[in-house]
A and B are shown apart, each in its own frame.
Chain A
Amino acid sequence: MTAIPDRAPPRFRAGDLLGDERWRGLTIQALALAALGLLGWFLISNLVANLAALGKPIDFSFLWRRAGYDINQRLIPYTSDDPHWRAAVVGMLNTLLVAVLGCIAATIFGVIAGVLRLSRNWLVSLLMAAYVEGFRNVPLVLWIIVTFSVLVHATPAPAAFRGEEAEASMLFGLVAITNRGTYLPRPVWGDGSALLLLVVALSVVAVWVWRRLARRRQEETGQPLPVLWVSLAILLVPPALAFLALGRPLSFDVPAVRETGIANFQGGIAVLNSFMALWLALSLYTGAFIAEIVRAGILSVSRGQTEAAYALGLRPGRTMRLVILPQALRVIVPPLISQFLNLTKNSSLAIAVGYMDIRATLGGITINQTGREFEGMLLLAGFYLTVSLVISGLMNVYNRRVAIKER
């Protein structure tokens, strides 16, 4: 019998850290990490030391001091007596407003342009190609400024709406488009409007229930129920009846031009041209990129799917909606996330047209009045980072829903 000699595990020697394959990888990684940490520590300590030497140690107390400046677009109450942090919040909300509305509009523009660019109609696909290439290949800030100048120069001044024989008139007597901004009627909620809102909400729920019923019936029996007309009726009739029954609780504050003093519109909701320009330019620009993503997604679905759908008798519209797009979404959604992030970050170009986003309030005026560049930039970076992470988190959830389910 041959005994297998018990081999003692080799004694660990310091040289093995580099000589032995088992350890070498770990050693190098540990060294790299230590070097990175050292570099980071060097940079940060350098920064702190230099700021202190300059007499500006890192300090966030400026946020609680009186801001002293006014902001023209406020989603929450704000006056110049409020502290800097509140001005920053006003800016944040303005950034979020333009980012959210921009993402929605960009998606709509992008999907339409992407689908139409594949159209067999030569003119349509050429027009869409021109749109995509035109917007993709010109810097965004130019589009923002161009849009703004068009809005300012192509529209009448508020003074033109004045007097008996005004040069300009309001659209349907309700909407005023001026070189300052667009003024819309503002809903005024009277007594009982809560009940009215409840009725509207119930109608929406009822429509949803009706659609489910109709679908189930079609799946079970093959007989379709009328969906569109019934839905419209459910949506419109009960709220209209409730509106009359409750004594017209909802009215509208229609904007009007001041007839004395300086001509400007009062009342209503003001949508400033700076917002319009930024929102339009951002959505058109990002929409051009999304169009290409959508086109790529659609082309990634094999032609056989379309042919199979046609063979089943589906019309082209339904083929696109029910067969192609759901499969294309798997390709579309991941790059779409980065477009949404781009749009959000690009909204910081707002200052080009004087839109008061967070870059303009906290990152502009506040920094300038308090001299706290470093702190301000840290907060800004933190804000954009948070927003971007939230957007990509939400979109990843959605992506998981449309991804192929592997069971």
Chain B
Amino acid sequence: MRATMWGAAALIVAAGAASAQTLNDVRSRGVLNCGVNTGLTGFAEPDAQGVWQGFDVDICRAVAAAVLNDPMAVNFVPTTGQTRFTALSSGEIDLLARNSTWTFSRDTELRLDFVAVNYYDGQGFLVPRALGVASAQELDGATICIQTGTTTELNLADFFRVNNISYEPVPIANDDEGQQQYLAGACDVYTTDASGLASVRATFENPDDHVILPEIISKEPLGPVVRHGDNEWADLVRWVFYAMVAAEELGITQDNVAEMASAPGDNPEINRLLGTEDEYGTMIGLDAQWAVRVIEAVGNYGESFERHIGEGSPIGLARGLNAQWTDGGLIYAPPFR
């Protein structure tokens, strides 16, 4: 296929030409282009020093650590609900880690591949306590702020239609705008994934004046996304994520990983993961130490969760569905074998 292309239309599909070698592109570029949220506390937001921090950001850093041996070699591209998939399929970003819901049509029709689920979520409603509403069923006639270009937009339409109650949508472009509109009273209700609501609420001056309604009206499995067609790259991102998950299950942490990786231990799975036994890294185009670097950079899944969005953080989300399967959750890594 021709490598040179001109024109905006051609740009949209330029990625097609390069899709088979994302790994090589990232290596030769020396930096990973990672699409993240424009700003959602706990998931992806620059801190006071301008360094991106968050649960989704950690996925980008983990991949950069594995591939480029440097968790900071990431170029973060803030994307809105509307621009994210175009940015990915155009090749502007190599990887999208932006609270994106895995759905059938996105996986097939949009020519994307969801490699894993890093957060099991569902859509909820945030209302001011003063509104005096205790259930989503009482939202008849409400004005609702909703991010356009999201699955939540479609769930919302379905929920109100099925329950035969009316509402008026106020479309907004991103969480910041939604927050402003909601606080200014331009809408009665803000709806998005429950984790996003917790994140938004945590940034309010008086979080206690606002409640998240008990109803969760949808399944929102959020996860990192890559372009369809480059299976090597998809495998790499998938197993970088599962390395974090397996590390938690196997008791490998940011603190003890160096020690555990120094010599083969009793557990062969830990040995395979940390490269002290067999050459699993080469199977995904990396060296033997890849998983060690990932865990050194961002910690295991549980550590990353706890640091950014867990109960100890301002967001204060419980593990819930996102606990390890051994603790009754859905987080489950396939075996490293």
Contact A371 B7 (CB under 8 A): no
- 13 A–B pairs (Cβ distance < 8 Å), ordered by A: A50-B5, A53-B1, A56-B111, A69-B154, A152-B185, A262-B138, A262-B139, A264-B141, A360-B148, A365-B153, A369-B105, A370-B109, A371-B89
**B181 at interface, CB cutoff 8 A:** yes
Contact A262 B111 (CB under 8 A): no
**A68 at interface, CB cutoff 8 A:** yes
CA distance A53 to B139 in the complex (A): 46
Binary interface encoding of chain B residues 117-147 relative to chain A, with 1 for a CB under 8 A from any of its CBs, else 0: 0000000000000010100001111110000
Stretch at the interface among A7-15, A41-49, A119-127, A218-226: A41-49
Stretch at the interface among B80-88, B242-250, B276-284: B80-88
Contact A368 B81 (CB under 8 A): yes
**B73 at interface, CB cutoff 8 A:** no
Q: Which of A51, A80, A373 is in CB contact (< 8 Å) with B158? A: A80
**A388 at interface, CB cutoff 8 A:** no
Residues in chain B near residue A80, CB distance under 8 A: 154, 157-158, 161
Q: Which of B13, B109, B154 is in CB contact (< 8 Å) with A50? A: B13
Given the known A-B contacts A70-B157, A71-B169, A364-B82, are A266 and B1 also in contact in the complex, defined by CB atoms under 8 Å?
no
Most chain A beta-carbon contacts within 10 A, residue among B15, B141, B142, B228: B141
Q: Which of B13, B89, B105, B171 is in CB contact (< 8 Å) with A356? A: B171
CA distance A224 to B277 in the complex (A): 108
Contact A368 B14 (CB under 8 A): no
Given the known A-B contacts A54-B13, A80-B157, A360-B148, are A371 and B141 also in contact in the complex, defined by CB atoms under 8 Å?
no
**B229 at interface, CB cutoff 8 A:** yes
Q: Which residues of B contact A (CB under 8 A)?
A: 1-2, 5-7, 9-10, 12-17, 19, 81-82, 85-86, 89, 105-106, 109-111, 131, 133, 138-143, 148-149, 153-154, 156-158, 160-161, 167-173, 181, 184-188, 228-229
Q: Which of B111, B140, B157 is in CB contact (< 8 Å) with A54? A: B111
Contact A72 B142 (CB under 8 A): no
Contact A55 B158 (CB under 8 A): no
CA distance A324 to B27 in the complex (A): 70
Given the known A-B contacts A47-B9, A50-B10, A55-B228, are A68 and B188 also in contact in the complex, defined by CB atoms under 8 Å?
no
CA distance A208 to B9 in the complex (A): 54
**A339 at interface, CB cutoff 8 A:** no
Residue of A whose beta carbon sits closest to that of B111: A55
What's the least CB distance linking A354 to chain B, in Å?
4
CA distance A252 to B153 in the complex (A): 34
Residues in chain B near residue A50, CB distance under 8 A: 1, 5, 10, 13-14, 16-17
Contact A377 B141 (CB under 8 A): no
CA distance A46 to B148 in the complex (A): 32
Query: 9 closest pairs, A vs B, by CB?
Result: A371-B110, A368-B149, A80-B157, A50-B13, A54-B16, A354-B171, A157-B185, A68-B154, A53-B16
What's the least CB distance linking B140 to chain A, in Å?
6
Residues in chain B near residue A345, CB distance under 8 A: none
Residue of A whose beta carbon sits closest to that of B17: A50
Residues in chain A near residue B149, CB distance under 8 A: 364-365, 368-369
Contact B141 A261 (CB under 8 A): yes
**A273 at interface, CB cutoff 8 A:** yes
CA distance A354 to B170 in the complex (A): 7
Q: Which of A55, A79, A262, A364 is in CB contact (< 8 Å) with B188? A: A262
What's the least CB distance linking A262 to chain B, in Å?
5
Residues in chain B near residue A354, CB distance under 8 A: 148, 170-173
Residue of B whose beta carbon sits closest to that of A44: B9
Contact A51 B13 (CB under 8 A): yes
Residues in chain A near residue B141, CB distance under 8 A: 258, 261-262, 264, 266
Contact A43 B158 (CB under 8 A): no
CA distance A180 to B145 in the complex (A): 11
Q: Which of A49, A179, A352 is in CB contact (< 8 Å) with B186? A: A179
Contact B9 A371 (CB under 8 A): no
What's the least CB distance linking A239 to chain B, in Å?
35
Given the known A-B contacts A50-B16, A54-B13, A72-B170, are A43 and B133 also in contact in the complex, defined by CB atoms under 8 Å?
no
Residue of B whose beta carbon sits closest to that of A273: B186
What's the least CB distance linking A279 to chain B, in Å?
17
Contact A374 B82 (CB under 8 A): no
Residues in chain B near residue A46, CB distance under 8 A: 2, 5, 10
**A153 at interface, CB cutoff 8 A:** yes
What's the least CB distance linking B73 to chain A, in Å?
27
CA distance A18 to B142 in the complex (A): 75
Residues in chain A near residue B15, CB distance under 8 A: 54
What's the least CB distance linking B250 to chain A, in Å?
38
Most chain A beta-carbon contacts within 10 A, residue among B16, B111, B161: B16
**A112 at interface, CB cutoff 8 A:** no
Residues in chain B near residue A258, CB distance under 8 A: 141
**A269 at interface, CB cutoff 8 A:** no
CA distance A71 to B146 in the complex (A): 11
Given the known A-B contacts A50-B1, A262-B131, are A368 and B12 also in contact in the complex, defined by CB atoms under 8 Å?
no
Contact B13 A47 (CB under 8 A): yes
What's the least CB distance linking B38 to chain A, in Å?
14
Contact A377 B142 (CB under 8 A): no
Contact A365 B143 (CB under 8 A): no
Q: A180-B187, A262-B133, A371-B105 are in contact. List 6 more A-B contacts (CB 8 A).
A: A47-B9, A50-B13, A69-B157, A179-B185, A262-B142, A266-B141
Contact B85 A368 (CB under 8 A): yes
What's the least CB distance linking A242 to chain B, in Å?
37
**A351 at interface, CB cutoff 8 A:** yes
Residue of A whose beta carbon sits closest to that of B142: A262
Q: Which of B1, B161, B168 is in CB contact (< 8 Å) with A264? A: B168
CA distance A56 to B131 in the complex (A): 46
CA distance A55 to B81 in the complex (A): 23
Contact B138 A47 (CB under 8 A): no
Residues in chain A near residue B157, CB distance under 8 A: 68-70, 80
What's the least CB distance linking B190 to chain A, in Å?
13
Most chain B beta-carbon contacts within 10 A, residue among A81, A262, A364: A262
Residues in chain A near residue B7, CB distance under 8 A: 43, 47
